[in-house]
Amino acid sequence: MKNFKDSVWKENVEKICNQIKKNEIKFVRLQFTDINGIIKNLAVSAKNIYSIFENGQSFDGSSITGYRPIEESDMVLYPDPTTFAVLPWRAKEKSSCRLICDVYTPENKRFEGDPRYILEKALAQCKEAGFTYYCAPEQEFFLVKENDSSAPTPIDMAGYFDFNPGDLTDGIRRDIADTASEFGIEIEISHHEVALGQNEIDFKFDEALKTADRAVTMRMVTKIVAAQNGYLATYMPKPFAGINGSGMHTHQSLWNLDATENLFFADTPKTGYISKTGLNFIGGQLVYGREMCAILASWPNSYKRLVPGFEAPVYLAWAQKNRSPLIRVPNFGRRKGAARCEIRCPDPSGNPYLQFAVLLATGLKGIKEKIDPGEPVELNVYKMSHEERKKRGIVELPESLGEALDEMENSETLLEILGEVTYKNFLIEKRKEWDLYRTQVTQWEVNRYIQRL
């Protein structure tokens, strides 16, 4: 958030302006996301950057999905100096940098529909409650090759953790990791995933705003590096039938305000060493799971992933070892700093600012309302009968985006978290997307029904 009266903020601005001058950067890319989480970008002359830090950069908000109507379209971008990075794929003689921006109105007030602002508000409430929210997403993606006469296909025949000398995806993952480090992102793990052409690159956990910034940056980096190698990187949740889709399992924990104590840890073997605070946090996400599902899985294709049999969650339950329920508490070996829960339904195609905001806010409601998540379900939920699930109080996630939007539309909680602007705009945009999807006639339907019906 811009604040020239703050000495640290002003010092950061001066530092960035000096770096831009030192690197002989001619243009600065100002970036932000639309309501879907798609990066938007405009380039401005580096000569004007100090003035832009102070006075902002105007743009037309009516052309941005989920922002403002044309009759009140004027908006202003203010760069966050802590997000500065030189773009490593640009030649030195054409050096450029990027800054992630906050969105303001011409009246110099934060735009209520800015996804970054919605997460910042949730984090402010978290701080008021005495917590610091840390999270780490596992972003899965496919590397595919595009063909002139047919649909894109996976670029390899490898599987989970496979390694082959000279493996194509291994080299691309390394290039992505190296490029991400130029943006200050510390990569911890990279590996091939279960499906053909599927990969995962994980970065170190951090406070949620930094993590969301890094999540959108990772998507940008991954797509650009893949394109440089002649391939397409896609975060589409389920690009191919019959194999696993791409999820974004998100690890979460709450710490004290100075981040010296993990408040999810308790020396209680019975609960898997998860504290009452952690259990209530899980309880909140389970209770509000159906209502927030449209934010966590925000495209029609997302629900092709959320089906039994492909390691994706379908049922609202939690477990310590079992990976079939919605939320899992990993075995962290009684290490206090590693106590966490992992929610498994989000996918990497959504807006991480909104995703982390609803995850945090529903978890905090669980703590405030002292919601008991119930006993952990260590049986394979997929194999339970309907009656057995009913007896245990286990309900399903929505089966489609349309059903998820119905849940969200009836949710006072989601309206409170997102604010009226984003709540209404999200429903409008996603209803349009759902209507486009459900009016299509697929080749599968033609092949199956045209002769027999």
The Cα–Cα gap between 379 and 358 comes to: 28
CB atoms within 10 A of CB 187: 18
Report the half-sphere exposure of 1 (CA within 13 A, side-chain side). 15
The Cα–Cα gap between 337 and 192 comes to: 27
Three-state secondary structure call for residue 233 = strand
Q: How many residues does the chain have?
A: 453
Report the half-sphere exposure of 352 (CA within 13 A, side-chain side). 26
Q: Is 375 a catalytic residue?
A: no
Three-state secondary structure call for residue 385 = coil
Q: Is 60 a catalytic residue?
A: yes
CB atoms within 10 A of CB 184: 15
Q: Is 249 a catalytic residue?
A: yes
Catalytic residue among 14, 24, 54, 60: 60
Structure tokens at 313: 């969650």
Catalytic residue among 323, 389, 392, 431: 323
C-alpha of 356 from chain center: 7
Q: Report CA Rg, the chain.
A: 22
CA distances from 304 to 345, 365, 406 (A): 12, 29, 18
Catalytic residue among 80, 200, 213, 347: 200
The Cα–Cα gap between 431 and 415 comes to: 16
Q: Is 140 a catalytic residue?
A: yes
Three-state secondary structure call for residue 252 = strand
Catalytic residue among 34, 120, 140, 347: 140
DSSP for 310-343 reads: TT---EEEEESS-SSEEEE----TT-GGG--EEE
The Cα–Cα gap between 273 and 259 comes to: 19
Q: Is 396 a catalytic residue?
A: no
How does strand 315-319 pair with strand 325-328? parallel
Q: Is 291 a catalytic residue?
A: no
The Cα–Cα gap between 361 and 133 comes to: 10
Q: Residue holding tokens 């940056």?
A: 217
Structure tokens at 202: 């994980």
Catalytic residue among 34, 114, 193, 347: 193
Catalytic residue among 29, 249, 290, 340: 249
The Cα–Cα gap between 155 and 168 comes to: 8
Helix ranges (H only) for 129-270 are 168-181, 208-228
Catalytic residue among 167, 342, 396, 429: 342
Q: Is 438 a catalytic residue?
A: no
Catalytic residues: 60, 138, 140, 193, 200, 249, 323, 342, 344
